[in-house]
Amino acid sequence: MFGYLAVAMLSKKTQYALKALSYLAEHYSEGPVLIADIAAHKQIPLKFLESILLNLKHHEILESKKGKGGGYFLKQAPKKISVAKAIRAVEGPIALLPCVSLNFYEKCSDCDEKTCGVNKVMALTRDATLAVLEKKTLADLMDRH
Amino acid sequence: MFGYLAVAMLSKKTQYALKALSYLAEHYSEGPVLIADIAAHKQIPLKFLESILLNLKHHEILESKKGKGGGYFLKQAPKKISVAKAIRAVEGPIALLPCVSLNFYEKCSDCDEKTCGVNKVMALTRDATLAVLEKKTLADLMDRH
DNA sequence: ATATTAGTCTACCAAATAAGTAGACTTAAA
DNA sequence: TTTAAGTCTACTTATTTGGTAGACTAATAT
């Protein structure tokens, strides 16, 4: 009667992106890493990963080099890139509602934000969530072996 | 090139649910409230709202009464029902990934949670988010007029 | 030069989910 | 026994998700 099929709030695409960034963080300062290398180690469909990495490049998180010896690499040191920035690049807003989103704000069609209780609770939630995601960086995403 | 169309992490359905619960909280102890009344005041499609409220009843958040003088009402006082419980009833998990969900946990297929950095960051995020959503109640969702 | 390597881009597709609708059915009150 | 109101099943339709195919561009090595 109440059957849920394991929904997550982050899409598969964002999960793949975070896994890939984690891998690139681990191999930072080793030069360009092949897409195929990331795909193999993190079990991500190759062509899908290509589009994800390209998108991260467009968002100034990654850089790339073509041809032999090429590949992808972080534009800045892992500690300089927040998890919030990475999620926003792939997923879009982090807030639970557009009317409390800092980076993707949109006014509610039918309620007054000054009096809306839902808005107030969601704004507090956003603050709590962002306190973590803005502070944590790609360095924190790295695996501890 | 980077066109987002105002995505929110909570579905329309959950937004409607929270609005409806907010309305029912405001009219708590006034007896049953008509679905049509809620729909009209909160601008929610009637038939869609019907199914949402029924679902909330199945999750023991609402009660109902049929026939004349009937309608929906909160099963407990607004202060007794957390926003987290309401969201879980409609949306499912609150955590960003299944592998850090308390109520809808699912193991990652391809990573070891003991070493996975992504898991660690998402667990911290979940804690921060839940600290708010478990503490806040339907009473906090009410509009302040 | 030119073959090879590797990222870039456009276009497409199928499955799943979200959002909403229709209409018959049940129960309670007047 | 009529009317009011929630319940339930079964759709439909639009959008998003999670991919794939294949041509194209740029850099390097020979």
User: Tens digit of pLDDT for each residue in B80-109?
Assistant: 999 999 999 999 999 999 999 999 898 887
How many Å apart are CA A123 and CA A125, to the nearest integer? 5
- Mean local confidence (pLDDT), A54-71: 97
Can you state the angle between helices B12-26 and B83-90, rounded to 10 degrees? 140
Residue A23: other Cβ atoms inside 10 A: 20
User: Tens digit of pLDDT for each residue in B24-67?
Assistant: 999 999 999 999 999 999 999 999 999 999 999 999 999 999 99
Cβ of residue A67 lies below 7 Å from strand D: yes
Residue-level pLDDT at A7: 59
User: Tens digit of pLDDT for each residue in A77-129?
Assistant: 999 999 999 999 999 999 999 999 999 998 887 789 999 999 999 999 999 99
Q: Which tokens hold the place of A109?
A: 């069609």
Of A109, A85, A62, residue with least CA distance to B6: A109
Of A43, A134, A56, residue with least CA distance to B125: A134
A128 contact residues in B (CB cutoff 8 A): 128-129, 131-132
Q: How many CB pairs under 8 A join A and B?
A: 131
Confidence of residue A66 (pLDDT cuts 50, 70, 90): very high
The domain segmentation of chain A, as residue ranges, is 12-141
**How would CATH label the architecture of A12-141?**
Orthogonal Bundle (1.10)
Q: Which residue of A has its CA nearest to B44?
A: A110
More confident residue, B145 or A45: A45
